[in-house]
């Protein structure tokens, strides 16, 4: 049987891969996908904790699953707004490469 | 059996997540991300979180990824040309990541109850009903605020993607 530590390690690995994508890739869309991976890693650890710590009534902690539901909703809204900003940026600059987007650079 | 399924879906999720980072073509990355989300949904099923698994497939693997693919198609992105890598950025990224992994390993190994197997829960539980009760009884106000947030996001997207009329 998998233990809580198994799920937490998978969650940590997934978060690290997402972080690596954000740090190393220069395509702004791939950076955005890395952000989604990191959000999902957080969801996995929340659901794992809810399953491994049931309440006194023998039910899993459903409050954590409601929190995951909220995270998914906010992430969907965030993706929509972020992609709209990327499209507006592409219209203005004709690039999705972050090193070409240096207008705010000091 | 349960452990085998866990490993199959964990490795599937992590491999496709690596694919998101290493593929040069944005469409391959997006497809890889879809598979990673499906693997993650399967992991949620192994945790008896059926509602979250279904929402994960519907919202992430469905709606969000369709949006990503539409934007990739709209921007007409080709495979990125290789640019010289910045050694400082890679080294900095590696150091941050190594520190993060060490911190996570230390936290998990010192966590009480981390090696417990899954505790028994009531069999035949109606997962969707339980999440619904928790959502509407304990989190009714946040639920409605989320509705307002979605409305604001929708209006914001329409305003952002509107072409300026000259």
Tokens of A91: 């219209």
Structural domain harbouring B35: 1-79
Q: Does A98 touch chain B (CB under 8 A)?
A: no
B85 within domain boundaries: no
Chain A positions touching B116 (Cβ under 8 A) are: 3-4, 52
CB B36 within 8 A of CB B70: no
pLDDT of the residue at A95 = 84
Please tell me whether residues B68 and B133 are part of one structural domain.
no
Flag whether B158 is in a domain.
yes
Compute CA distances B100 → A14, A18, B13, B105, B151, whole Å. Answer: 12, 12, 20, 9, 36
Enumerate residues 6+ apart whose C-beta is below 8 A from B34: B61, B65
pLDDT at B77 over 80: no
Between B76 and B130, the more confident residue is B130
Q: What is the pLDDT of residue B165?
A: 61
For chain B, what is the domain count? 2
> Can you spell out the DSSP letters for B83-152?
-PPPHHHHHHHHHHHHHHHHHHHHHHHTSTTTT-BPPP--TT--HHHHHHHHHHHHSHHHHHHHHHHHHH
Question: How do residues B104-119 score in pLDDT, each as one tens digit?
Answer: 999 999 988 778 788 8
User: Does residue B110 sit at the A interface (CB-CB below 8 Å)?
Assistant: no
Question: What's the whole-number average pLDDT of chain B?
Answer: 89
Among A5, A29, A80, beta carbon nearest to B115: A5
- Note the pLDDT tens digit of each residue in B60-70: 999 999 999 99
**How far is B148 from B91, CA to CA, in rounded Å?**
43
> Residue B100: which of A19, A25, A68 has the nearest Cβ?
A19
Question: How much of chain B exceeds pLDDT 90, in percent?
Answer: 58
Give the contacts of B15 (CB within 8 A, at least 6 positions apart): none
Q: Which residue of B has its CA nearest to A93?
A: B75
**Correct CATH for A4-100 of 1.10.287.3510, 3.40.50.2020, 1.50.10.20, 3.30.1330.90:** 1.10.287.3510
Of B17, B52, B79, the domain-final residue: B79
Q: Could you give the ipTM of this predicted complex? A: 0.91
Choosing from B79, B101, B136, the residue where a domain stops is B79
Any A CB within 8 A of B61 CB: no
Ranges of chain A with pLDDT below 70: none
Q: Does B75 share its domain with B2?
A: yes
Is residue B68 within 8 Å of residue A29, measured between CB atoms?
yes
Give the largest CA-CA distance in chain B.
65
Chain A hits for B128, CB-CB cut-off 8 Å, are none
Residue B73 shares a structural domain with residue B1: yes
Residue B166 pLDDT greater than 70, yes or no: no
Q: What is the token pair recorded at A69?
A: 């539901």
Which positions in chain A touch B131 (Cβ < 8 Å)?
62, 65-66, 69
Closest by CA to A20, choosing from B151, B19, B164, B5, is: B19
Residues B11 and B66 in one domain: yes
CATH code of the domain covering residue B16: 1.20.120.1200
In a domain, B99, yes or no: no
% pLDDT > 70, chain B: 95
Look up the pTM and report it.
0.91
Closest to A83 measured CA to CA, from B81, B15, B77, B25: B77
Please check whether residue B144 lies inside any domain of the structure. Answer: yes
Asked whether residue B33 is domain-assigned, the answer is yes
């Amino acid at each position: 049987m998998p233990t809580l530590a198994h799920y937490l390690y998978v969650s940590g690995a997934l978060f690290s891969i997402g972080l690596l994508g954000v740090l190393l890739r220069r395509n702004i869309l791939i950076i955005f996908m890395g952000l989604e991976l990191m959000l999902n890693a957080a969801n996995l650890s929340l659901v794992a904790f809810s399953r491994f710590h049931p309440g006194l009534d023998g039910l899993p902690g459903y409050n954590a699953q409601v929190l995951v539901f909220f995270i998914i909703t906010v992430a969907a809204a965030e993706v929509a707004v972020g992609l709209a900003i990327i499209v507006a940026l592409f219209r203005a600059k004709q690039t999705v490469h972050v090193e070409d987007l240096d207008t705010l650079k000091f | 059996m349960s452990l085998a399924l866990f490993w199959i879906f964990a490795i599937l999720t992590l491999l496709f997540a690596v694919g998101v980072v290493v593929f040069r073509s944005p469409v391959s990355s997006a497809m890889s991300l879809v598979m990673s989300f499906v693997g993650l949904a399967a992991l949620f099923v192994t945790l008896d979180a059926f509602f979250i698994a279904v929402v994960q497939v519907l919202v992430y693997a469905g709606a969000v990824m369709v949006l990503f693919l539409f934007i990739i198609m709209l921007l007409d992105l080709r495979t990125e040309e290789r640019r010289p890598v910045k050694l400082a950025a890679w080294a900095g990224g590696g150091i941050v990541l190594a520190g993060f992994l060490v911190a996570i390993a230390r936290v998990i190994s010192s966590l009480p109850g981390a090696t417990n197997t899954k505790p028994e829960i009531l069999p035949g539980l109606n997962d969707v009903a339980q999440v619904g009760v928790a959502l509407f009884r304990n989190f009714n106000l946040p639920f409605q605020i989320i509705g307002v947030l979605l409305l604001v996001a929708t209006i914001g997207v329409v305003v952002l993607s509107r072409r300026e009329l000259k």
